[in-house]
């Protein structure tokens, strides 16, 4: 955009803040969010509640009770709007947890199932700021239930490697010194390190680091104009490199950290989030809750997601006045005079409101994009070009508690791109006393990120397997990677029972009720902004353009905030905008980015691109 445009853009191509908003109330916070990168000690104020305006409360119908819908409802209800959320299935969406039916006995809770990924990196800001505003006994969700993961377990699906426990911070090194310094772990680390150096030549390691530095020092213009159009595999030039470079550096790391396909995801997106994770780990960015000393690069909740986060959030919103209409979603939007005249629901009734937020996944949004909608908002046609994929969880409930220190497990190179977490340790809970029938002492929760690659037991893709075959295949892949050292970490005889996400069904063929939008090279142009050309229709969801630009809880929360802010603009509200945070960076890189901007405009390659 030129300097004369009427909107000020945030990074990442997302919708910006209007000049009118910058002149209202506490909107200086929005300016601060865009400039405080040079002032690491400055923090952005939280949202303040605004009393309802006199007379009729202005109404908002939010269709979708996932992360984006809840975030939008949160911001709007605190600013005096009347909000109703319509959700056909589950509040919390893809972030939710779920009780395993029929597993509780003796006054215990049901065994805890999880839908999918439970990873809150230190560079997440929107989700954690929302958590900080959700009250629970003794404080708020962030302070009481979000905890640092102090170690990581890295396993490789290849002979010659051994699973290794690594510290995630200096405090993690101290706290778990006994586990880290065992003869077994030291031997595994040495074995894996030597194997890795042999398999990936030093010059290839250096080359990979150089490619990441190119992303870190590229101007925004080059990121959008050049790197957005390349896949990550193309950008890191995997062709012609060693098999280990292609398998682990170019592929498996991307799957493990951001659940994206390196062969199709844009280099801009993967490079940006990889750099954000690295920068947050340094502790040099005051806005990130992470650092080398105390950790925070990897965080999880200390209990089932719904119990410690989603349920308290919904209770808080209900207490503030949000209405929840369950079992009901949007079936159609009626357009009249270039605006939404009403929304027809799955129950056959018509909902009218001042503003409408479509905070639903792309598979549910696409059927609503009728010729009337696209005629009034043609930019929404890009949604039809966005792609989705599957990533869901399976839990194995075990009769033996893991003796590994708490930490995420990255099983690099497994055909189905598996990551996992033993839950009893980080939750600090006695499973047998708390959940199930007393036989379960731990839970290994695993995310399945690749449903298209043949497995090792049956030679079939996950999408071709039965429920039992999926359970057997996932265990076999994880066990092959985890048991490649001197002892069996995973033993099939420890499995008491298991639970696969019930969103996967086989009637008549395999289907997934909750697919995940996946980033692809060149997809930025197709992603909608929160505000549309229809003045009373707004979009929320992890497919909206955001600063993090990835299908995550963080991206969905940011999108919900952007939708709320767009409604504030439409309503000419004096309320403080919901804070929208950039991905912070090291100020020392600014001159290099400025020089690269000049080079890009002159048609020259990045100075490190050789």
Question: How far is Cα 149 from Cα 598, in angstroms, rounded to an integer?
Answer: 42
Is residue 304 pLDDT above 60, yes or no? Answer: yes
Reported as a single tens digit per residue, the pLDDT across 471-508 is: 999 999 999 999 998 889 999 999 999 999 999 999 88
Is residue 360 pLDDT above 60, yes or no? Answer: yes
Is residue 10 pLDDT above 60, yes or no? Answer: no
- How far from 113 is each of 77, 150, 465, 496, CA to CA, in Å? 31, 23, 21, 14
Reported as a single tens digit per residue, the pLDDT across 318-338 is: 999 999 999 999 999 999 999
Encoding tokens for residue 47? 């949202």
Give the burial class of 22: count Cβ atoms within 10 A of its Cβ; 0-12 exposed, 13-18 middle, 19 or more buried: middle
Q: Hey, which of 28-42, 189-203, 260-274, 557-571 has the most confident mean pLDDT? A: 557-571
Task: Tell me the three state secondary structure of residue 188.
Answer: helix
- Return the residue matching tokens 């590994």: 404
pLDDT recorded at residue 56: 67
Domain boundary assignment for the chain: 7-93+306-384+527-579, 97-124+141-150+389-512, 200-297+589-601
Question: How far is Cα 362 from Cα 517, in angstroms, rounded to an integer?
Answer: 7
Q: What is the rounded (10 degree) CA torsion for 471, 65, 258, 446? A: -20
Average pLDDT over residues 552-575: 97
Q: Which residues of 458-482 are buried (b: 16+ CB within 10 A; e: fewer)?
A: beebbeebeeeebbbbbbbbbbbbb
Reported as a single tens digit per residue, the pLDDT across 395-438 is: 999 999 999 988 899 999 999 999 999 999 999 999 999 999 99
Question: How far is Cα 430 from Cα 500, in angstroms, rounded to an integer?
Answer: 23
- Per-residue DSSP letter, 379: G
Q: What are phi and psi of 101, to 5 degrees?
A: -60, 145
- Per-residue DSSP letter, 25: T
Give the burial class of 23: count Cβ atoms within 10 A of its Cβ; 0-12 exposed, 13-18 middle, 19 or more buried: exposed
Give the burial class of 386: count Cβ atoms within 10 A of its Cβ; 0-12 exposed, 13-18 middle, 19 or more buried: buried
pTM of the model: 0.89
Question: How far is Cα 561 from Cα 126, in angstroms, rounded to an integer?
Answer: 9
In 449-574 the beta strands, taken as DSSP E runs, fall at 495-500, 504-506, 510-512, 516-518, 537-539
Computed over every residue of the chain, the mean pLDDT equals 88
Task: Tell me the three state secondary structure of residue 385.
Answer: helix
Question: How far is Cα 305 from Cα 173, in angstroms, rounded to an integer?
Answer: 27
- Per-residue DSSP letter, 425: H
Average pLDDT over residues 92-109: 95
Is residue 180 pLDDT above 80, yes or no? Answer: no
Q: Which residues contact 203 (CB under 8 A, 6 or more apart)?
A: none
pLDDT recorded at residue 159: 86
pLDDT recorded at residue 32: 31
pLDDT recorded at residue 189: 78
When pLDDT is cut at 50, 70 and 90, the band that residue 46 belongs to is: very low
Question: How far is Cα 278 from Cα 85, in angstroms, rounded to an integer?
Answer: 37
Helix (H), strand (E), coil (C) string for 214-272: HHHHCCHHHHHHCHHHCEHHHHCCCCCCCHHHHHHHHHHHHHHHHCCCCCCCEHHHHHH
Task: Indicate the CATH number for domain 7-93+306-384+527-579.
Answer: 3.50.50.60
Q: What are phi and psi of 152, to 5 degrees?
A: -140, 145
Residue 400: CB atoms within 10 A of its CB come to 13
Question: How far is Cα 454 from Cα 451, in angstroms, rounded to an integer?
Answer: 8
In 339-423 the beta strands, taken as DSSP E runs, fall at 339-345, 350-351, 355-358, 387-389, 392-398, 407-412, 418-422
How distant is the alpha carbon of residue 244 from its chain centre?
27
Is residue 463 pLDDT above 80, yes or no? Answer: yes
Average pLDDT over residues 578-592: 95
E strand or H helix at 139: strand 139-140
Is residue 584 pLDDT above 90, yes or no? Answer: yes
Encoding tokens for residue 393? 């969880």
Encoding tokens for residue 205? 């390691």
């Amino acid at each position: 955009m030129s300097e004369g445009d009427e909107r000020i853009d945030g990074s990442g191509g997302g919708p910006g803040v209007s000049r009118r908003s910058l002149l209202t109330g506490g909107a200086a916070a929005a300016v601060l969010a865009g400039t405080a990168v040079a002032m690491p000690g400055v923090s952005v104020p939280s949202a303040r509640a605004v009393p309802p305006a006199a007379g009729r409360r202005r109404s908002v119908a939010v269709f979708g009770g996932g992360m984006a819908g809840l975030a939008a409802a949160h911001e709007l209800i605190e600013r005096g709007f009347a909000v109703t959320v319509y959700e056909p299935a589950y509040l919390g969406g893809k972030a939710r947890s779920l009780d395993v039916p029929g597993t509780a006995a003796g006054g215990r809770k049901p065994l805890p199932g999880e839908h999918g990924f439970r990873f809150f990196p230190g560079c997440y800001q929107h989700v954690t700021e929302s958590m900080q505003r959700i009250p629970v006994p003794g404080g708020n969700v962030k302070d009481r239930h979000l905890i640092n993961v102090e170690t990581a377990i890295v396993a490789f699906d290849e002979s010659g490697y051994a699973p290794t426990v690594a510290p995630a911070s200096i405090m993690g090194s101290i706290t778990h010194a006994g586990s880290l310094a065992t003869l077994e772990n030291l031997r595994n680390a040495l074995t894996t390190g030597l194997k890795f150096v042999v398999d990936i030549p030093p010059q290839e390691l250096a080359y990979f680091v150089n490619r990441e530095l190119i992303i870190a020092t590229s101007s925004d213009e080059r990121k959008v104009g050049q790197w957005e159009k390349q896949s990550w595999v193309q950008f890191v030039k995997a062709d012609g490199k060693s098999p280990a470079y292609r398998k682990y550096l170019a592929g498996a790391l991307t799957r493990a950290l951001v659940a994206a396909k390196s062969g199709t995801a844009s280099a801009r997106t993967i490079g940006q989030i990889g750099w954000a994770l690295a920068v947050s780990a340094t502790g040099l960015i005051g806005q990130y809750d992470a650092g080398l000393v105390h950790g925070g690069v990897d965080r999880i909740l200390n209990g089932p997601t719904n119990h410690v986060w989603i349920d308290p959030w919904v209770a808080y919103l209900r207490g503030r006045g949000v209405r929840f209409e369950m079992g009901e979603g949007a079936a159609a939007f009626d357009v009249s005079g270039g605006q939404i005249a009403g929304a027809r629901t799955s129950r056959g009734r018509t909902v009218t409101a001042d503003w409408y937020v479509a905070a639903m996944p792309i598979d549910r949004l696409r059927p609503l994009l009728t010729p009337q909608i696209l005629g009034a908002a043609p930019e929404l046609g890009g949604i039809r070009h966005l792609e989705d994929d599957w990533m869901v969880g399976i839990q194995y409930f075990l009769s033996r508690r893991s003796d590994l220190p708490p930490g995420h497990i990255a099983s690099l190179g497994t055909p189905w791109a598996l990551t996992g977490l033993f839950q009893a340790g980080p939750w600090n809970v006695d499973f047998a006393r708390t959940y199930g029938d007393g036989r379960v002492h731990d839970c290994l929760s695993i995310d399945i990120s690749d449903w298209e690659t043949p497995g090792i037991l049956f030679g079939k893709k996950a999408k071709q397997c039965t429920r039992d075959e999926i359970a057997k295949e996932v265990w076999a892949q994880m066990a092959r990677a985890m048991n490649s050292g001197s002892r069996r970490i995973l033993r099939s005889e420890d499995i008491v029972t298991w639970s696969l996400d019930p969103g996967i069904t086989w009637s008549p063929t395999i289907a997934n009720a909750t697919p995940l939008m996946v980033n692809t090279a060149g997809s930025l142009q197709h992603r909608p902004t929160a505000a549309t050309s229809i003045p009373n229709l707004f979009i929320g969801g992890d497919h909206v353009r955001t600063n993090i630009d990835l299908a995550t809880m963080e991206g969905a929360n940011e999108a919900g905030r952007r939708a709320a802010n767009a409604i504030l603009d439409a309503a000419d509200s004096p309320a403080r905008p919901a804070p929208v945070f950039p991905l912070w960076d090291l100020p020392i890189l600014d001159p290099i980015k400025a020089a690269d901007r000049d080079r890009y405009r002159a048609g020259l390659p990045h100075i490190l691109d050789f």
